[in-house]
Structure 1
Amino acid sequence: MQLPVRAIFVFHAAARAGSISRAAEELGVTPSAVSQQIHALEIQLGLSLMHKSGRRVVLTEAGERYFSSIGDEIGRIAEATAAIRGYRSVTALTVRATPTVSNKWLLPRLSSFLDAHPDIEVRLDGTNEPTDFNRELVDIEIRHGDGRWPGLFVEGMGEESFVPACSPKLAAPGSLAPEDLPDFRLIHSVKSQAQWSRWFALAGLRPETRWRRVLFDRSHMAIDAASDGMGIALESTMMMEREFAAGRLICPVAVPPKLCIVTQWIVCPRDHLRHKKVLTFLDWLREERAARRDLRQAPDEVAGAEPVS
């Protein structure tokens, strides 16, 4: 059965107004047209919905039940129609990134992309789960890992420098030597590619002291914990830019060993590169990457550290 949408809306208007003439005025049609639509609906349903009582209409029991059933739905359709009027056309771009990249790197910059491209509406999906591009509607991803994902377009976000970082309330910038760090609680990011054991090896140390430590499975939690004075974290300066700039974090080691790794990668199927929205976002990511590379004063230098090669 074909749904008599127009007749249903006319019946709803008449039932709500309690009058054929008022419904006709609201709909911009003649009272005769309203009566004809309601009559046609009654014939299709095989029952009477309303009858006249003077200048008003009175709903039958079936009409009351029908009006009650469709009232909320008609209201929602009317609200959606009013809301969509004049709604500007936008292009939706879904970006997936780890919670740390989303919170610590993308969010502080995202407004510049949105301001430059008001026709693109971004949905940011912050998760550690790698995208299954065959099943999920994700346009482009910034993925943590080693960059080895055959069959996909993969481009590094650039080297990240990993340095010890803590609140200035815990230690002053450049006030500690590498061998002093085991005396403090060390914050571990368990999924990070840069671990304390590797950093100490680069410093030429094999700490004998049993470490006091706290472990997190998200780097943004480790960064926040270090900012709160919980201990010393080993994290990427790329992810700690805001905290270093605001003075919430500093590098307490005067001459930290150099530990640089590419851990974040731009990933998507190659056929996604045919889409303008993906290329626009990719170009913007490259510009932001170049801006980081061109900085004359890195966050760890601001914090008082002088990494050695």
Structure 2
Amino acid sequence: MPIRAPRRFLPSLPLLAAFEAAARTGSITQAAIELSLTQSAVSRQIKALEGQLGVELFIREKQKIRLTLGGQTYAREIRDALQKISNASLNLRAHPGGGALTLAVPPTFGARWLTPRLPAFVSRYPDVMLNMLSRLSQFDFKQDVIDAAIYFGTPYWPGIEMVLLRTETMIPVCSPGLAARYGFRRAADLRRAPLLHLTTRPDAWERWLSANGVDDRAVHGMLFDQFSNLLAAAVAGLGIALVPDFLCESELESGGMVEALPLPFQSGEAYYLCWPEERASHGPLLLFRDWLLAETAAYR
């Protein structure tokens, strides 16, 4: 049975909203405008919150306020909590029957591989409302209002359940013009051309070069934060990109880019569908998991 917190540690939402707005804007006046309240009402709510907690949250200097050290930490945590409540309320309003699945997905994987396949899932399970959120960096199930996520990396993650979706083969690709200009014949030739890098895979080129017996020291080049931008740069002739083969199929088929050399590289990491243990019995998640495993069966 969960332990209930004492009432004094559970302030009302109006008090927390007034505090969060004042903390974020650094102004009672701006908080009042944002909340459609008077300045005196906001001041009273913040005073009431401080009285309830028994802690001073702001240092008041003439007409200005600034957060105490404790207030800074409290503001950050309250802001996250209010955002979670807002997201949960929005999801409930959109899907009052609860038949929804909110999924965090790497942007390019979602756009290029997953989304084109989703009509089949929607057709099979029309009552499941699927919400997709792009996540470039690692997500946090304790902070994000998500049911599951597609994660790229290694399978070790305590407290999280996951299933393997697919492995990954990286290939070096570039524009036809760049390939003709440099005339690549062996792996070492790629060092003569600009190498394009992804911020989330900072050592990808070093690993590829090392695997092909090429000096992997002092590898420099342009940085991109998403595969989509990296691919666009390669098509534009800015350099060679090292990308998963399944994410650049359309460019290869259209001739917009070519393999610099037929030297694929197994990244050693993989894509997983993962979810927190407490969501393991969520009906829409189970349906999506089984469908996705069937879709990726050929890639494992």
Q: Does 1:121 align with 2:120?
A: no
Match of 1:185 in 2: 194
- 1:257 shift after superposition: 5.4
* Alignment correspondent of 1:204: 213
User: Which of 103, 109, 129 is residue 111 of structure 2 equivalent to?
Assistant: 103
Rg: which structure is higher? 1
- CA distance in 2 between partners of 1:277 and 1:141 (Å): 13
The letter for the 1-side match of 2:167 is: E
Matches within 5 A, 1:91-170: 91-170=99-178
Q: What is the CA-CA distance between 1:159 and the residue it aligns to? A: 1.4
Contact 1:94 1:140 in 2 (8 A): yes
Corresponding position of 1:283: 290
257 and 145 in structure 1: CA distance in 2 versus 1, 3 angstrom threshold: closer
Match of 2:221 in 1: 213
Measured in 2, the distance between the counterparts of 1:123 and 1:211 equals 39
C-alpha distance in 2, partners of 1:159/1:112? 22
In structure 2, what is the equivalent of residue 56 of structure 1?
A: none
Moved more, 195-204 or 261-270: 261-270
1:230 is displaced (CA, Å) by 1.7
CA contact (8 A) 1:178 1:200 kept: yes
Runs of at least 5 residues in structure 1 that lack an aligned partner in the other structure: 1-83, 294-309
Distance 1:129 1:196, change over 3 A: closer
Structure 2 unmatched runs, 5+: 1-92
Out of 284-293 and 150-159, give the one that drifted further.
284-293
Secondary structure at 1:164 match in 2: strand
> SS at the partner of 1:159?
strand
Moved >6 Å (runs of 4+): 87-90
Q: Deviations over 1:190-247 (max 9, x none)?
A: 2117611111111111168x76621112223212221222211011113223333333
Task: Give the corresponding residue for 1:266.
Answer: 273
In structure 1, distance between residues paired with 2:130 and 2:282? 15
Please list, as runs of the form range in 1=range in 2, the aligned pairs for 1:26-41 lying within 5 A after superposition: none
Q: Which moved more, 1:159-168 or 1:100-109?
A: 100-109
Specify the code of the residue in structure 1 equivalent to 2:229.
M
Seen in structure 2, the aligned counterparts of structure 1 residues 182 and 158 have a Cα distance that, compared at 3 Å, is same
Provide closer, same or farther for how the CA distance between residues 219 and 162 of structure 1 changes in structure 2, counting only shifts above 3 A: same
Query: TM (normalized to structure 2)?
Result: 0.60
Q: Is the 8 A contact 1:203 1:257 kept in 2?
A: no
Residues in 1 aligned to 2:295 and 2:224: alpha-carbon distance in whole angstroms: 28
Across the aligned residues of Structure 1 and Structure 2, the Cα RMSD in angstroms comes to: 2.8
Deviations 1:118-160 (A, max 9, x none): 2222111001243332343211100233222101102222210
Offset, 1:289: 1.2
Q: Residues of 2 paired with 1:284 and 1:277: CA distance?
A: 11
- 1:100, distance to aligned residue in structure 2 (A): 2.3
Shift of 1:250: 2.1
- The answer to which of 261-270 and 119-128 deviates more is 261-270
Quick one: percent identity of the two aligned structures?
31
Given that 2:149 and 2:275 are in contact with CA atoms closer than 8 Å, whether structure 1 keeps it comes out as yes
SS in 2 for 1:137: coil
Partners of 2:121 and 2:291 within 8 A in 1 = yes
